[in-house]
Structure 1
Amino acid sequence: MTTISNVVLVHGAWADGSSWAKVIPLLAEKGMAVTAVQLPLTSFEADVAAVQRALALADGDVVLVGHSYGGAVIGQAGNHSKVARLVYVDAFAPDAGESAGALFSQFQSAPLAAELRPDAEGFLKLSHTGAYDLFAQDLDEAEKAIVYATQGPVNGAALGGTLSEAAWRTRPTFYLIGDEDHAIPRAEQERMAERMNATVAHVSSSHVPMLSQPAAVADIILEAAA
């Protein structure tokens, strides 16, 4: 039995709500009411607003989960009164006045940075190498092709959206670290998790453990719910 029965899942850049497709059934089997938000990825404010709309519709307390850039989004949107716990999955965890982009620029080694391709309007897309070899390297070839084809380009300005108040400062927080992550290096994830005083778990995965190791992702969400 879990004490919190609602979970809202927030994807990151170069993804959409379907990135949680393997995790959702595992949570539903345990009686969780699951919502996977579709971020517009057009601005930080628009992404936060999309999550807040989902939270407003939840029937009771919520475990709010963010992957990658979604960690910055839940850090702001998670100040909603219905959010009881936060879960970060290979995610950025900015403090007040910080952004995902600012943290990314400080990372000592982030190979994915060289594989971002801007278009004329400032939206960033992953190169083939970035998607296949650095973002989702532990998926099979068919799944890599899907990740690459369906990626959601993100407005570069959205990555610069700063938090006015970090929800993790006032809520129990959990963090799943992908040990083979080439987008947010393990050491950087460990630093962010330590700063948040988060309950930490590790998984041997790329930047997309919800696709390569969905049981591990479901487990930490259920731990947070309990």
Structure 2
Amino acid sequence: MKLKKVVLAVSMLVAIAGGTAQAQAQPVKNIVLVHGAFVGGAGWRAVYDRLTHDGYNVTLVQEPLTSFAQDVAATRRVLDRQNGPVILVGHSYGGAIISEVGNDNKVAGLVYIAAHVPENGETEADNGKKIPNSAHPFVKSSDGYLSIAPEYYHADFAADLPAAQADFEAHAQMPTNAAVFTANIPHPAWKTRPSWYMVAKADKIISPDLERLYAKRAHSHTVEIAGASHSVYQSHPDEVARLIEQAAQHALP
């Protein structure tokens, strides 16, 4: 009788341990997408469709691009609404935002799509000078907001999108306060969170070499997409969604 009780107790412990391991192996189901400068959240639509089709709860941030603090606040507002762990995804300037917001306890992992990943003491503007891009200079308004001249938008930002789509986006772009590119992040989340990085090999807005530096320094799981422009999140939604799902499946221990 005692032997049976011991066997039963051991079996229960094994079952509990197995259940705990199984629970820990469950993928993260909440995905928050953060757009970059000059664009809005609508550009994520194709990625959103693929992730929701696969059963993920996906929410888009519409940051105002008026200051780094306000963009971070807009992202935190969305993050606070999530029930359970979250994968934060940032494109371009959105990479700086998720590097700040990613310290939240809800964040299980970070995905950078052709994004800036600054270190403490660095700014996007300074890093862009150290490893320059190949785009035309931005246009600056009298009140300090930057935009891309419409005649250069297709070639510089979205060369692998149809010309008509790029032209529309050039005239729908959101001017971005130049000050956001000088923000410092004292405790970047990529130092304590697992990360994934997509390098756009034909990017003219952020040099692919700078993207590789960022990915290597953050010890990110990295993929490179040949022929991809800075708009890789729109032109290669299958690959982007696949990388995000990899993060969701492997972020938790």
Q: Name the TM tier (shorter chain).
A: over 0.9
Give 1:120's aligned residue. 142
Deviation at 1:158, TM superposition (A): 1.1
| Aligned CA-pair RMSD | 1.2
More displaced 10-residue stretch of structure 1: 1-10 or 188-197: 1-10
Supply the distance in 2 between the matched residues of 1:51 and 1:130 (Cα, whole angstroms).
Answer: 29
Supply the distance in 2 between the matched residues of 1:159 and 1:27 (Cα, whole angstroms).
Answer: 30
Q: Which runs of 4+ in 1 moved over 4 A?
A: none
Contact 2:150–2:171 (CA<8 Å) still a contact in 1?
no
Q: Percent identity?
A: 36
Contact 2:157–2:230 (CA<8 Å) still a contact in 1?
yes
Give the counterpart of 1:132 among 151, 154, 165: 154
Give 2:173's aligned residue. 151
Give 2:20's aligned residue. none
Supply the distance in 1 between the matched residues of 2:72 and 2:124 (Cα, whole angstroms).
Answer: 13
More displaced 10-residue stretch of structure 1: 141-150 or 85-94: 141-150
Q: In the alignment, is residue 6 of structure 1 matched against residue 30 of structure 2?
A: yes
Cα deviation 1:149-184 (Å, max 9, x = unaligned): 111111001111110210000010000011110111
Q: In the alignment, is residue 110 of structure 1 matched against residue 110 of structure 2?
A: no
Give 2:238's aligned residue. 215
Contact 2:200–2:232 (CA<8 Å) still a contact in 1?
yes
Deviation at 1:2, TM superposition (A): 5.5
Between structure 1 and structure 2, the one with the greater Rg is 2
Give the counterpart of 2:40 among 4, 10, 16: 16
Deviation at 1:130, TM superposition (A): 2.9
Contact 2:150–2:167 (CA<8 Å) still a contact in 1?
no
Give the counterpart of 1:182 among 185, 196, 204: 204
**SS of residue in 2 equivalent to 1:210:** helix
Structure 1: unaligned runs, 5 residues or longer: none
Supply the distance in 2 between the matched residues of 1:2 and 1:91 (Cα, whole angstroms).
Answer: 27
* Count of equivalent residues: 224
More displaced 10-residue stretch of structure 1: 129-138 or 22-31: 129-138
Query: CA 1:144–1:2 in structure 2 vs 1: closer, same or farther (change >3 Å)?
Result: farther
Supply the distance in 2 between the matched residues of 1:153 and 1:27 (Cα, whole angstroms).
Answer: 28
Q: In the alignment, is residue 91 of structure 1 matched against residue 108 of structure 2?
A: no
Structure 2: unaligned runs, 5 residues or longer: 1-24
